[in-house]
Chains A and B, each alone.
Chain A
Amino acid sequence: MKMNKRKINSLYIHIPFCNSICPYCDFTKFLKKTNFEDQYINELIEDIKKTQISFFKFNTIYIGGGTPSCLSNENLEKILIECQKLAKKGTEFTIEANPEDLDDEKLNLFKKYGINRISIGIQSFNTDTLKMLGRKSIDFKSLIKKVKKYIKNINIDLIYGLPNENIEVLKENLKKFVSLNCSHISIYSLTVNPGTIFFNKHIKEIDEDQNRLLYDYICSYLKDHGYDNYEVSNFAKNGKYSKHNINYWKCGNYVGLGAGASGYIDNKRYTNTSNLNKYLEHKDRLSIEEELTKDQQIEEYLMLNLRTKWGLNLEEFNARFGLDLLEVAKDYIQLLINKKLAIINKGSLCLTHDGIAIMDSILLKIFNLINL
């Protein structure tokens, strides 16, 4: 039987293992156990091979977690060999890594199999904060220097808004980040989700006003240092945007492999089970599969596109859903423009910094106006 190969933009691969559990993390993850790891990698490789048969090579590949860098070099190599077969020239190939895992051997392995972007979960440069987050403080300056020898395109993940942090801690963190001269930063306010250690310890998120104060500072500081705030929490220098993530925000299709991973193809979203046993034993491996109704597609289109600086292309929106947003939400959009919460730029509705900060209430208002 001849398979018809599909052209899909992006591939996401989930590695659900970590050396330690971070108190704020609500992703699918397990403490690393070697026997499970081997079995998991074997399963994953089966899935990657099936993907090779069913799909053309991808424009972006992203290995996330968990902590992909905590895998043994043997297992990493096994996966990377197969992943490389799904990459082509120009594919953005990202892996997530923990700072303490990054030795020359591993970095060399990454480079060897075509990884050209690395996302390092540093979270904070502040010793007290790192302690609270249960993470090690290391010499980040020499680490980044070392990484750059192998991979130039580096993202650093930071967290702000921990309960005992003041704005000085944030300023110091941003200053350190800028001094490292990396191309990209994702900086998130701490969210305390059910199921996390922080949630169980009743750690509270900072209040809305304080959060906004810090967010304003971040955006203006990074802008002053040449970083382009192209999405709510993402900033890039010299156009080094994350193509993989932009695909999500443009409602593009993607394949998701591994426990807890999601994929989205032809308006259908599926999520693999986050139960490791079920995943390994092929029992109810698909935990959710839903075909989005038109209304749901519209909701997602709005809530994702408006996150970015490119905003929502009105003509494209109209062509896709047969809805003239400028017409149905005319007065409200005019109000947003008057209040400097939005602008129309090259046929796209874009939220300003002030608008992005309060995007949820703007979305709900628009949903209401277009009767969703």
Chain B
Amino acid sequence: MKYDQSKIRSFSIIAHIDHGKSTLADRILELTNTITKREMKDQILDSMDLERERGITIKLNTATFEYNAKDGNTYIFNLIDTPGHVDFTYEVSRSLAACEGAVLVIDSTQGVEAQTLANMYLAVDNDLEIIPVLNKIDLASSMVDVCKKEITDRLGLDGEHAVLVSAKTGENVQEILERIVTDIPAPSGSNDNPLQALIFDSYYDSYRGVVALIKIKEGKIKVGDTIRFMKTNKEFLVTELGIRTPAEIKSDALYCGEVGYLCGQIKDIHDVKVGDTITLSSNPAKEPLPGYRNINPMVFSGVYPTDSRKYEDLKDALEKLSLNDSSLKFEAETSQALGFGFRCGFLGLLHMDVVQERLEREYNLDLIMTAPSVIYKVNLTDGTQISLDNPSKMPDLSTVKSIEEPYVKAEIMTPKEYVGTIMKLCQDKRGIYLDLEYFDDTRMILKYEIPLSEIIFNFFDKLKSCTRGYASLDYELSDYKVSNLAKMDVLLNGEVIDALSSIIYKPFGYNRGVTLVRKLKQVIPRQQFEVPVQAAVNGKVIARADIKSVRKDVLAKCYGGDITRKRKLLEKQKEGKKRMKQIGSVEVPQDAFMSILSLDEDIED
């Protein structure tokens, strides 16, 4: 590809989840012959199995390709993919920092949703040129005119000039490419300035060490240059440069405005920080590029290997994963019940889920995750304050003056007929009403302040089910407020199981306690001897259920032809038991530790 800075266009596609972003990316890659039909798998940029299976984008990915525009010129496009889920806002902002423009995809059968707004604001924050696109126009339920009006009225963009496409059939996708050429500016900066390259992602490769994805904002870089990471101040020799199409193509140098990758025999993953700026040792830039908004994890969970001998493997896996996923934080912790493990911080529940699945699949680990918790601030009687991300570490009550918990500002967009239902839900979740406004003729935006712990505790599922999936949610951390909180412990056979402790809102305590012990009774299989399960708040038992003992499990018939089958059955059960955690004399399955999350009030005794 021939370098001409004025012919480079770097852009992201942003959208609410399920609005067709990845399918549109597929069509663009196809149309520009980046990927031939033969190589085409659905959603090519979603390279993780997990992404394809779930139909979501988790990790950003990039592709560089050529486009022969109608003006007779050949342009170089850098497409930087973004995730659509609320948990991954941080990833979106990282992608956007490497772009000059954004294609904002809106499902024309759904219209503007909460995440459409949130992602558009991110693009505006990054000074990007935004091209609105209405997708799914091939569907009968498409409402193009309504959506155009929404774009004009609600997003402040030019709705009349939105590109109407069907990513599925490919209809009119070419128009988007033309608009990218005409509307999105070429990257600014100059090859003559000192190097400033933004690291917007990185991953670990066992042969080449850390591979950093970079955008050259100023200057140029060559293989053989000695570079410096401005934040960590480490220096490395550049051993390889290239672009991703998405397949890697090596090149000797990267120039101003280009997007590519860099290797430098960097063995320690801690040396590379996403958001850092790379410069040349010989001619360093005066200052680094503005980094990213440093995002803090919102929910914390204990992650333990089921087999305690796999602790080191887990540590290794978390380090490699966190390189690729800088929003994942972790530190070692010990649990009496679960042994050695890590307290990990996640952006949200989906993020937590994704990390768990990646650890289990890509690193072949068998994990126990404890129920997620938020960070509480505990004010002690001596005037000091501690941050608490693990409920079992709650200090002795006599030393606690008050406990504060994080609240989020939640914006819920909903068809107006569900407003009453949602208000009831928010009140049940201890929400504080802020505002209610019309979005358009049929939809409203409800604003509440809600404790984050309640959002984690099945708020999203409840919201979806009570609005038949029509409401969408966006939230951001607001502040901490003092709440009437207490620690709830769970006792098995009379012993406190630290991994099952949680912080609860006291007035909800009795109900939560009762449902939790019932739930545990359900998920913990019968044991050889009866086991009492108790919930205790501040040391006082408030609920109890008994896990029954096994009463009959012997196979009725076992003759000549049954023996092999019976032995295999026992062998299978034996393997199943290995996946359980032995706590004292009780065998506890992995999902018991998460059962606090899925408490529904209607569990039968």
Contacts and interface: CB of A to CB of B under 8 A. Distances in A.
Interface stretch (B127-135, B478-486, B545-553): B545-553
Interface string A264-305: 100001010000000000000000101000001001100110
- Bin chain B's interface residue count: 20 to 34
Contacts of A215: 552
A360 B564 contact: no
A209 B526 CA distance: 11
A188 B557 CA distance: 7
B550 A358 contact: yes
B457 to A, nearest CB: 32
A52 interface: no
B54 interface: no
B556 interface: yes
Given A188-B557, A271-B564, A358 B570 contact: no
Contacts of B564: 262, 269, 271, 288, 290
B554 A357 contact: yes
Nearest to B578: A368
A57 B551 CA distance: 43
Contacts of A27: 561
A362 B528 contact: yes
Given A256-B560, A261-B561, A299 B570 contact: yes
B70 interface: no
B563 interface: yes
B573 A360 contact: yes
Contact of B553 (A262, A303, A358): A358
B340 to A, nearest CB: 22
B558 interface: yes
Given A232-B558, A361-B528, A372-B574, A209 B551 contact: yes
A209 B530 CA distance: 13
A372 B574 CA distance: 9
Interface string A343-372: 000000000000011111111110110001
Contacts of B553: 208, 357-361
A248 B526 CA distance: 30
Interface string B558-590: 111101101100110110010000000000000
Given A364-B574, A367-B570, A304 B563 contact: yes
Nearest to B529: A339
Contacts of B559: 245, 248
Contacts of A271: 561, 564
Contact of B556 (A189, A256, A264, A339): A189
B551 A212 contact: yes
A304 B558 contact: yes
Contacts of B139: none
A310 B563 CA distance: 19
Contacts of A362: 528
A356 B554 CA distance: 7
A360 B554 contact: yes
Contact of A303 (B528, B567, B577): B567
A364 B575 CA distance: 10
A254 to B, nearest CB: 6
B555 interface: yes
Contact of B561 (A260, A299, A372): A260
Contacts of B551: 208-209, 211-212, 357-358
A235 interface: no
Contacts of A108: none
A362 B570 CA distance: 11
Interface in B525-544: 526, 528-529
Given A215-B552, A361-B553, 9 more contacts: A191-B557, A208-B526, A208-B553, A211-B551, A232-B554, A233-B557, A303-B570, A304-B563, A357-B552
21 contacts: A188-B557, A208-B550, A209-B551, A211-B552, A232-B555, A232-B558, A256-B561, A260-B561, A261-B560, A262-B563, A269-B563, A299-B570, A300-B563, A300-B567, A303-B566, A357-B552, A358-B552, A360-B555, A362-B528, A363-B570, A367-B570
Interface of B: 526, 528-529, 548-561, 563-564, 566-567, 570-571, 573-574, 577
Which 6 A-B pairs have CB atoms at the shortest separation, nearest pair first? A212-B551, A360-B553, A188-B556, A359-B554, A212-B552, A262-B561
